[in-house]
């Protein structure tokens, strides 16, 4: 639930113009294009005050400057990257020790390296994430005048049929590539006094600052969860080389343990992470987890490509639920017992894994794994 709430921050309204704060598309889908750079519109000046930048005409410089000077620091969540770094550093010894015990590891070297080489450096990158935003201060008709001759393309385009300008109002956050300059129209009413214009502009800038902070906070928390899950999966579960009818153990254990570790750093309770991981909206068109037989999962190669991610997500939701049911009966130590047994004697198939779990922990998961 919390993660869905965090993801809802990806589209947020700001300013009289509709500005959206979004995360970048997946790298595979991202177009291979140069970074969009601001081209100063003819007759405009740049006003920069304390990290904020506006573009305006000479007659507006005075009140725009006053507006930017009046801006006070935006309200920031207590889960900004710097806060997560502090929490991660404080909880490090506890989490590393817990990982060693939960995953039945011989030492804590891999967990310690994960903190030093991946988690903390990534959070430090988030801490310095500052998208280049420019507020284009003007009346709406003036924007049409600018774009008629092609200024601002491809972010701005004048539609000659409709006689109006359309524009891209996204503020893109990315650590993988240089961020585009985000030029956001801040429309003013010429009938308003300079004081009224300044007040409206300042309010819009503060609103965007607040929502950008929320965005960075939310993405930082998600990144903590994703990085820990990736570490557990790649370093400790993938080497087990489990078959497809055993993959539920990888999916379920990874998410279950990650929820606890991420909770220590993000402040989001483990139960909330797990509730989100198993949630199925009643009106969703996604495949139901109940219908999945984890001991005989469908062959991905025989599915339509578009169906594969939905099926995989349904598998994951069910797998997490199975591990939750299992540990509620046998305790979290059941995971370490099972992993130790698997490393010593890998089970031949899904049924053999179920038998091994029953032998090691006293819980028969066969009914939980079957379709219902």
Lowest-pLDDT range of 76-90, 182-196, 278-292 = 278-292
Calpha distance 330→96 (Å, rounded): 23
What CATH number labels 241-369?
A: 1.10.390
Looking at residue 18, its pLDDT comes to: 28
Question: pLDDT band at 173, cuts 50/70/90?
Answer: confident
pLDDT digits (tens, 9 = 90+) for 73-128: 878 899 999 999 999 999 999 999 999 999 999 999 999 999 999 999 999 999 99
Calpha distance 261→254 (Å, rounded): 11
Cβ 249 vs Cβ 241: under 8 Å: no
Q: Which two tokens stand for residue 234?
A: 């790649």
Q: How far is residue 296 from each of residues 303, 351, 366, measured CA to CA in Å?
A: 15, 10, 11
Cβ 187 vs Cβ 138: under 8 Å: yes
* Domain segments of the chain as ranges: 2-77+127-218, 241-369
Cβ 22 vs Cβ 12: under 8 Å: no
Lowest-pLDDT range of 91-95, 167-171, 225-229, 342-346 = 167-171
With 80 as the cut, is the pLDDT of residue 21 above it?
A: no
Average pLDDT over residues 304-318: 93
With 50 as the cut, is the pLDDT of residue 19 above it?
A: no
pLDDT digits (tens, 9 = 90+) for 214-257: 999 999 999 999 999 999 999 999 999 999 999 999 999 999 99
Q: Which of 192, 183, 188, 195 is nearest to 62 (CA)?
A: 195
Cβ 201 vs Cβ 186: under 8 Å: yes
Percent of the chain with pLDDT over 70: 90
């Amino acid at each position: 639930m919390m993660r869905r709430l965090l993801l809802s921050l990806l589209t947020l309204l700001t300013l009289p113009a509709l500005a959206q704060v979004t995360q970048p598309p997946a790298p595979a889908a991202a177009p291979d294009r140069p970074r969009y750079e601001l081209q100063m519109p003819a007759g405009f000046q740049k006003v920069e005050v304390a990290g904020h930048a506006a573009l305006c005409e000479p007659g507006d410089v005075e009140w725009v400057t006053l507006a930017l000077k009046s801006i006070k620091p935006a309200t920031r969540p207590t889960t900004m990257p710097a806060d997560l770094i502090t929490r991660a550093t404080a909880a490090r010894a506890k989490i590393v020790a817990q990982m060693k015990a939960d995953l039945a590891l011989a030492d804590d070297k891999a967990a310690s390296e994960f903190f030093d080489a991946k988690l903390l450096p990534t959070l430090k990158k988030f801490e310095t994430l500052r998208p280049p935003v420019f507020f284009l201060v003007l009346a709406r008709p003036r924007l049409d005048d600018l774009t008629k001759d092609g200024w601002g393309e491809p972010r701005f385009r004048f539609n000659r049929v409709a006689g109006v300008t359309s524009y891209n109002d996204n503020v893109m956050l990315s650590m993988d590539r240089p961020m585009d300059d985000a030029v956001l129209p801040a429309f003013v009413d010429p009938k308003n006094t300079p004081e009224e214009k300044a007040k409206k502009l300042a309010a819009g800038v503060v609103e965007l600052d607040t929502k950008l902070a929320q965005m960075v906070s939310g993405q930082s928390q998600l990144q903590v969860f994703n990085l820990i899950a990736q570490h557990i999966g790649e370093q400790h579960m993938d080497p087990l080389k489990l078959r497809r009818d055993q993959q539920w153990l990888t999916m379920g254990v990874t998410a279950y343990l990650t929820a606890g570790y991420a909770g220590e750093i993000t402040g989001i309770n483990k139960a909330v992470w797990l509730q989100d991981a198993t949630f199925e909206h009643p009106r969703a068109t996604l495949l139901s987890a109940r219908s999945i037989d984890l001991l005989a999962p469908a062959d991905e190669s025989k599915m339509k490509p578009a169906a594969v991610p939905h099926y995989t997500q349904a598998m994951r939701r069910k797998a997490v639920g199975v591990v939750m049911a299992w540990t509620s009966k046998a305790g979290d130590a059941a995971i370490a017992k099972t992993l130790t047994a698997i490393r010593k004697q890998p089970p031949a198939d899904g049924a053999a894994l179920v038998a091994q779990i029953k032998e090691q922990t006293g819980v028969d998961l066969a009914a939980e794994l079957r379709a219902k």
